[in-house]
């Protein structure tokens, strides 16, 4: 253990701890920008400088190791002068449009400026780093003028997700992080996961906003605006509106959406249950009839694009099922339109998602029919929170409202789609009973839960030993796909979610750190336990849909509406 003094207070930390960690142990706050608790230390910005008493040296607290006998000052006059000078230099190169920036109020640079009471006019002339603005991606907008070159986006893209869509270019004043080969983001190998948005401390990377499409539709008397809401949204929306992480707000969320202007609010849990019946039936068919194994889930569009780009030779292993979002859109523009006597083009189909890749998914040309897209707009949790605020709604005082019929009934199995391992657990709950004809003794399958990189489980189904795996995030997806490619796995079924933690960690959620994820995960399984039905095949509304319209899982009509194809995108790598 190391003993030192910070601001006159003694503290003891483990060998290898940094001065920032030691100060945190004393509840002493040191401002940071390039530092992120879930990433490696970079020490780029130097805003976290502290002074070593004795030699009067200034050192970056995020990277400098604590040493025995040290005495540190975190807010001496010398430290304050240095930090203010660094902040002036950063602001002299940073766009001055805080009032209409998407990150206003959640921007870390803004918070540091406020904390340091920085109100004077900078001494340095304002010269923006770059005027480059890139809106080519349907998911993420990039504004280089707001980049502070902290490197957090490049780290999460390369080290956490192993996509390597962003890289450092230029040197000194000209340095910036941008797509490789200087391509626009929309033409790069970016898989649209949005983890760079979560990592960015400023407005340099933001979620591409689609709310104006929805506001205009509200004002059109000929449009019926219908929303579907993903499982994770009811857990992260309240957090985006200022409540603690893990706050569940299902009923209040629906009330707020109705007051904002949505005519109907449906539950994507419904098509999550539908996905399980289609996907589970497909898995049983592959195991019984010699199909491509392991079969891999297809719910996550960022993962699909990752596979299409980096592992196109393994595309036959993907389930042909559309994601729950796209299944819902297909039903809305066919079954629901017919049932209510509406033309598909008169329905504005809106998805409220925790995911930025869903914005890309809605644009895929194969996901629609007769020139009409199944999904017209995707609104992230961040965007919905802004809509609720701009409508003057006090979210914390709202009463509860139930989801609308006929797509308002979801199960616990559908709800756990929001977390890593949830799709696998939901599938096993159903597939076991479809194969054996007997109920699963314990439907809480702990082996596939949690944030571990790769989790495994095995279930005996009437003598067939079904082995499954769950990969959490794209770096683990890459590991497991290399094993599949080399023929070194004996899995029957693999679940892959692009975002670490699953949808509760999606790029469209409120900005998070890993420490907040446990509260979100606990809320997912709390909701699962509270719902009266916890197995997808027991959803009465789904059963009625098959009887009335779809026929049977993987049948002719359900396959035409609920299944899809994929494409080779490896050309983007060149």
Angle at 18 between CA 15 and CA 19, to 5 degrees: 120
Residue 112 lies in a domain: no
What is the C-alpha separation between 195 and 506, in angstroms, rounded?
A: 7
Contacts of 285 (CB under 8 A, 6+ apart): 291, 554
Residue 364 lies in a domain: yes
Contacts of 258 (CB under 8 A, 6+ apart): 265, 401
* 233 plus 173 within the same structural domain: no
Q: How many CB atoms lie within 10 A of CB 489?
A: 17
Q: What is the CATH number of the domain that holds 361?
A: 3.40.950.10
* 48 plus 154 within the same structural domain: no
Query: For the chain, what is the domain count?
Result: 3
pLDDT in tens, 20-74: 999 999 999 999 999 999 999 999 999 999 999 988 899 999 999 999 999 999 9
What is the C-alpha separation between 370 and 359, in angstroms, rounded?
A: 20
Six-digit token string for 283: 């898995």
* 384 plus 525 within the same structural domain: yes
* 487 plus 573 within the same structural domain: yes
Residue where the block lists tokens 């039903």: 331
* 202 plus 318 within the same structural domain: no
pLDDT recorded at residue 119: 61
Residue 104 lies in a domain: no
Residue 132 burial class via C-beta count within 10 angstroms: exposed 0-12, middle 13-18, buried 19 and up: middle
The closest alpha carbon to 380, from 361, 363, 356, belongs to: 356
Residue 137 lies in a domain: yes
Angle at 344 between CA 356 and CA 566, to 5 degrees: 45
Q: How many CB atoms lie within 10 A of CB 244?
A: 9
CA distances to 24, 49, 114, 175 from 93, rounded to whole Å, are 30, 20, 18, 12
Q: Please say which residue of 92, 124, 144 terminates a domain.
A: 92
pLDDT recorded at residue 118: 67
Instruction: Look up the domain containing 84 and give its range.
Output: 2-92
* Phi and psi angles of residue 49, each rounded to the nearest 5 degrees, phi first: -55, 145
What is the C-alpha separation between 238 and 384, in angstroms, rounded?
A: 11
Question: What amino acid positions are annotated as catalytic residues?
Answer: 279, 282, 299, 319, 358, 361, 366, 503
Angle at 492 between CA 486 and CA 498, to 5 degrees: 75
What is the C-alpha separation between 224 and 342, in angstroms, rounded?
A: 9
pLDDT recorded at residue 132: 79
Q: Please say which residue of 69, 92, 115 terminates a domain.
A: 92
Contacts of 392 (CB under 8 A, 6+ apart): none
* 196 plus 267 within the same structural domain: no
What is the C-alpha separation between 361 and 571, in angstroms, rounded?
A: 19
What is the C-alpha separation between 52 and 54, in angstroms, rounded?
A: 6
0.75 surpassed by pTM: yes
What is the C-alpha separation between 159 and 502, in angstroms, rounded?
A: 17
Q: Which residues of 447-483 are buried (b: 16+ CB within 10 A; e: fewer)?
A: bbbebeeebebebebeeeebebbbbbbbbbbbebbee
* 84 plus 154 within the same structural domain: no
Residue 503 lies in a domain: yes
* 277 plus 424 within the same structural domain: yes
Helix and strand counts by DSSP (H, E) for the chain: 20, 20
Residue 212 lies in a domain: no
Residue 484 lies in a domain: yes
Cβ(236)–Cβ(247) under 8 Å?
Answer: no
What is the C-alpha separation between 112 and 90, in angstroms, rounded?
A: 11
pLDDT recorded at residue 171: 83
* 47 plus 186 within the same structural domain: no
Q: Please say which residue of 63, 92, 121 terminates a domain.
A: 92
Cβ(311)–Cβ(485) under 8 Å?
Answer: yes
* 237 plus 139 within the same structural domain: no
Bridge partner list, 65: 18
Cβ(51)–Cβ(76) under 8 Å?
Answer: yes
| CA of residue 380 relative to chain centroid, distance | 10
Q: What is the CATH number of the domain that holds 65?
A: 3.10.20.740
* 402 plus 378 within the same structural domain: yes
pLDDT recorded at residue 41: 95
Contacts of 84 (CB under 8 A, 6+ apart): 116, 118
The closest alpha carbon to 124, from 145, 79, 94, belongs to: 94
Six-digit token string for 450: 């949690």
CA distances to 113, 147, 190, 241 from 119, rounded to whole Å, are 8, 21, 38, 28
Residue 217 lies in a domain: no
Cβ(417)–Cβ(272) under 8 Å?
Answer: yes
pLDDT in tens, 292-349: 999 999 999 999 999 999 999 999 999 999 999 999 999 999 999 999 999 999 999 9
Q: What is the CATH number of the domain that holds 181?
A: 3.30.70.20
Residue ranges of the chain with per-residue pLDDT less than 70: 118-121
* 533 plus 443 within the same structural domain: yes
- Provide Rg for the chain, Cα atoms: 25
Angle at 496 between CA 495 and CA 502, to 5 degrees: 110
| CA of residue 421 relative to chain centroid, distance | 15
Six-digit token string for 546: 């098959």
Q: How many CB atoms lie within 10 A of CB 222?
A: 8
Label residue 384 left, alpha or beta by phi (over 0 means left) and psi (-120 to 50 means alpha). alpha
Residue where the block lists tokens 């990969």: 471
pLDDT recorded at residue 120: 67
Cβ(510)–Cβ(408) under 8 Å?
Answer: no
DSSP per-residue letters across 368-426: EETTEES--EEEEHHHHHHHHHHTT--GGGPPP-PPPSSS----HHHHGGGSTTHHHHH
């Amino acid at each position: 253990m190391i003993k030192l003094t910070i601001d006159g207070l003694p503290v003891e930390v483990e060998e290898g701890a940094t001065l920032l960690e030691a100060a945190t142990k004393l509840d002493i706050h040191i401002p940071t920008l390039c530092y992120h608790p879930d990433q490696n230390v970079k020490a780029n910005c130097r805003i976290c400088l502290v002074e070593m008493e004795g030699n009067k040296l200034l050192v970056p607290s995020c990277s400098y190791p604590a040493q025995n006998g040290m005495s540190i000052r975190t807010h001496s006059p010398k430290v304050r002068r240095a930090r203010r000078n660094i902040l002036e230099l950063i602001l002299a190169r940073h766009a001055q449009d805080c009032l209409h920036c998407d990150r206003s109020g959640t921007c870390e640079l803004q918070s540091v400026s406020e904390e340091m009471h920085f109100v004077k006019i900078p001494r340095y002339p304002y010269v923006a780093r770059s005027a480059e603005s890139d809106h080519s991606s349907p998911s993420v907008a990039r504004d280089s003028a707001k980049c502070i070159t902290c490197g957090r986006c490049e780290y999460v893209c390369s080290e956490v997700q192993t996509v390597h869509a962003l890289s450092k270019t230029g040197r000194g004043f000209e340095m910036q992080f941008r797509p490789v080969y200087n391509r626009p983001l929309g033409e790069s190998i970016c898989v649209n996961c949005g983890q760079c948005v979560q990592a960015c401390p400023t407005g340099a990377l933001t979620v591409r906003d689609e709310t104006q499409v929805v506001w205009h539709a509200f004002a059109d008397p000929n449009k019926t605006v219908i929303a579907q809401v993903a499982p994770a949204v009811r857990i992260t929306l309240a957090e985006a509106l200022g409540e603690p992480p893990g706050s569940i707000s299902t009923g209040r969320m629906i009330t707020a959406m109705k007051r904002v202007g949505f005519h109907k609010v449906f539950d994507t849990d419904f098509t999550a249950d539908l996905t399980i019946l289609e996907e589970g039936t497909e898995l049983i068919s592959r195991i019984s009839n010699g199909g491509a194994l392991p079969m891999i889930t297809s719910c996550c569009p960022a993962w699909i694009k990752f596979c299409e780009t980096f592992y196109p030779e393994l595309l036959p292993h993907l389930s042909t099922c559309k994601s729950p979002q796209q299944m819902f859109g297909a039903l809305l523009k066919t079954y629901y339109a017919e049932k209510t006597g509406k033309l598909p083009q008169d329905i504005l189909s809106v998805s409220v998602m925790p995911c930025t890749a869903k914005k890309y998914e809605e644009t895929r040309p194969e996901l629609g029919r007769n020139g009409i897209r199944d999904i017209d707009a995707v609104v992230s949790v961040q965007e919905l929170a802004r809509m609720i605020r701009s409508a003057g709604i006090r979210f914390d005082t709202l009463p509860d409202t139930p989801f609308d019929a006929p797509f308002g009934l979801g199960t616990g199995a559908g709800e756990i789609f929001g977390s890593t391992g949830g799709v696998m657990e939901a599938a096993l709950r159903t597939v076991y009973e479809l194969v054996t004809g007997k109920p699963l003794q314990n439907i809480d399958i702990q082996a596939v839960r949690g944030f571990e990189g790769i989790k495994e489980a095995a279930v005996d189904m009437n003598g067939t030993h079904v082995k499954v795996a769950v990969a959490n995030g794209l770096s683990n997806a890459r590991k497991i796909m290399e094993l599949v490619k080399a023929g070194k796995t004996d899995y029957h079924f693999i679940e892959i979610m692009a975002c670490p933690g699953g949808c509760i960690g999606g790029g469209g959620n409120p900005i998070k750190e890993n420490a907040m994820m446990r509260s979100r995960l606990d809320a997912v399984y709390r909701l699962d336990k509270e719902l009266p039905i916890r197995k997808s095949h027991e959803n009465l509304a789904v059963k009625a849909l098959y009887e009335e319209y779809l026929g049977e899982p993987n049948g002719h009509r359900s396959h035409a509406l609920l299944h899809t194809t994929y494409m080779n995108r490896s050309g983007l790598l060149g």
